A and B are shown apart, each in its own frame.
Chain A
Amino acid sequence: AQKITQTQPGMFVQEKEAVTLDCTYDTSDQSYGLFWYKQPSSGEMIFLIYQGSYDEQNATEGRYSLNFQKARKSANLVISASQLGDSAMYFCAMRTYLGTASKLTFGTGTRLQVTL
C-alpha cells in the first residue's frame, strides 16, 4: 500500500522568501510518480510539478522545484520568491497504476500563508 505523509499542517512565509514543504512517502513499487498540487480556497486542484521515480534530476517548473531524495523517500516542494497568491493548501501525491488508468494517493496537505 502507498502512503504519503505531510507533517506540516501549516506554514508561514514572508513574501519574496523561499519555503520548503515536506513530503515523505512509502511504497514497495519500483516505478512511481510524485506530484504536488495546489488547492486555493476555490477548491480546484492545480497541478504544479511532477517527479518520476527514475528521474535522475530534480524537477523544476518556474518558481517550483522538487527536492527528490529517493533513498530517504522524500519529495519536498521548494517555492522560491513567494507571492501572496501562493497562499493555499498544498498536497503531495503519489501515482500508481490501475491497468490503463492511474491512482493518486494524497497526503493531508500543508496550508501555506504568505505574509507581507
Chain B
Amino acid sequence: ETGVTQTPRHLVMGMTNKKSLKCEQHLGHNAMYWYKQSAKKPLELMFVYSLEERVENNSVPSRFSPECPNSSHLFLHLHTLQPEDSALYLCASSQAVLTSGRTGREQFFGPGTRLTVL
C-alpha cells in the first residue's frame, strides 16, 4: 500500500448504529487530519492530530469521536449520526513542522469514505 488509504470506501448506516472509519498513511508523516465534504460546501476541517496529540477540534459534535493510536493510523468513530452527516469524509496526512523552517508541506489525501446516514 502506498500513500493514504481509507476504509471502508462506502458506508451506509442507520441513525442508531455505531461504526468506525479508518485511515492509514504510508508516507512517514506525523500529522493527520479528518475533513468533511458535504454537497455544495467547502471542505471543513474536523480534527487535527500532530505527533499523536489532538491539536484541533473544530466545533465538531460529540457524535464524532477521533482516535489516533499512532502516527500512521487515524480513526473516526461514529454513533447516533443524523442524516445531515451524510458526506464524503476525507483523511489527510502531512509532515509536522518540527523546526522554525516552515516550507511548503502539502497535505496528502486519501480517497475518502462516502457515508450515507439513513
Residues of A in contact with B (beta carbons under 8 Å apart): 4, 31, 33, 35, 37, 42-47, 50, 52, 91, 93, 95, 97-109
Contacts and interface: CB of A to CB of B under 8 A. Distances in A.
Given A43-B112, A104-B45, A98 B107 contact: no
Interface string B84-114: 0000101010101110001111111111101
Question: Which interface residue of A4, A46, A99 has the most chain B CB atoms within 10 A?
Answer: A99
Contact of B50 (A47, A98, A105): A98
B40 A103 contact: no
Contacts of A31: 102
Contact of A100 (B55, B88, B92, B114): B55
A97 B102 CA distance: 9
Contacts, number: 77
A106 B43 contact: yes
Measured as residues with beta carbon below 8 angstroms from the partner, the interface class of chain B is 20 to 34
A108 B43 CA distance: 8
